Structure 1
Amino acid sequence: MASAEFEELVETFEFLGDWEERYGHVIDMGKAMPPLEDAFRVPATKVDGCASQVWIVPEISDGGVLSFRGDSDAMIVRGLIAVLVALYSGLPVAEIGKIDAVAELKRLDLEDHLSSQRSNGLKAMVQRIQQVAAAAAA
């Protein structure tokens, strides 16, 4: 099950209605994220498979809870990172792999409105997060 923060996002998207409002909300979410420090913009945190520059910095607490920060050079991608933060952050690493990201993101109606490059980049970000969580849970 997705985080409570993601459930709130789903409710917000239902309220917003049309895609232009939702798209604007995703961009606003990205703008609200603090920028990633240059020290974290390194090959080890870069996500391959994205048309834009994307960095994801995971943090696993001593209790095995995932949180992460990220950044991108594209505003919509920053927003997509914020959506993934809402989906995954605050959950135990053992739960991350149980989340059907495709189904959860479908609730936001993203797949019909992103270019194939953006969709592939989103999948690459999800895969990175799932890999980090799986490694931490092992």
Structure 2
Amino acid sequence: MTIDEEQRAIVEEFEGLGDAFSQYTYLLELSARLPAMNDSEKESCVLVDGCQSQVRLAATANDDGTMRVRGDSDTLIVRGVLFLIVRLLDGRMPAEVASTPLSFFEKTDLKSAFSDERIAGFASICATIRTLSKTIADSQGDDRQ
């Protein structure tokens, strides 16, 4: 599936849950499924500016040209969102990640349950991932895009 197709699947998954409270609860459940980063991993991550909580992201190139995406946060609800982002982007080509906007969040009822600061934080996470993926794509040259 493409990133856009996977995003549509996530939106449908959330629509099936019902209201914003049920979707919020599901994000809390997903947070437990995001692998925790150890302290040494956190040191090599990018600390995302513009988030209320501490959000760390890492993106590295795999031998096959795809990206490995990792994330962590000190807030459970953000960890749930990061789980979805990792699910969407891990194992993708960096050029695809750089060129595909992440829109699943805005298409769920979650947007109404989040503060403006949390919504801005999501945008900051997306911008950071886009920058990391562009850096990897640029380092690989045109042969892997």
* In the alignment, structure 1 residue 17 sits paired with structure 2 residue 18: yes
Instruction: Indicate the residue corresponding to 1:99 in structure 2.
Output: 100
Instruction: Tell me the distance in 1 between the aligned counterparts of 2:74 and 2:55.
Output: 7
**Structure 1 vs Structure 2 CA RMSD:** 1.9
Is the contact made by 1:64 and 1:136 (CA closer than 8 Å) also made in structure 2?
Answer: no
**Superimposed CA distance per residue, residues 30-68 of structure 1 (whole angstroms, 9 cap, x where no aligned partner):** 111121111122275211111111111212212221221
Q: Percent identity?
A: 30
Query: Tell me, which stretches of 5 or more residues in structure 1 are unaligned?
Result: none
Tell me the amino acid that sits aligned with residue 76 of structure 2: M
Q: Return the offset for 1:99.
A: 1.2
Aligned-partner residue type, residue 51 of structure 1: Q
Q: Secondary structure at the match of 2:57?
A: strand
Q: Which has the larger radius of gyration?
A: 2
- 2:120 maps to 120
Using the size of structure 1 for normalisation, the TM-score is: 0.87
Query: Residues 53-72 of structure 1: matches in 2 within 5 Å?
Result: 53-72=54-73
Partners in 2 of 1:43 and 1:95 — Cα distance? 24
Is 2:23–2:109's contact at 8 Å kept on the other side of the alignment?
A: no
TM-score by structure 2 length?
0.83
Is 2:141 aligned against 1:137? no
Separation in 1, partners of 2:60, 2:5: 19
Which residue of structure 1 aligns with residue 88 of structure 2? 87
Query: What runs of 5+ residues in structure 2 fail to find an aligned partner?
Result: 139-145
Q: Tell me the number of residue pairs that the alignment of Structure 1 and Structure 2 aligns.
A: 137
What amino acid sits opposite 2:96 in the alignment? E
User: Structure 1 65/26 Cα, relative in aligned 2: closer, same or farther at 3 Å?
Assistant: same
Alpha-carbon offset, residue 79 of structure 1: 0.9
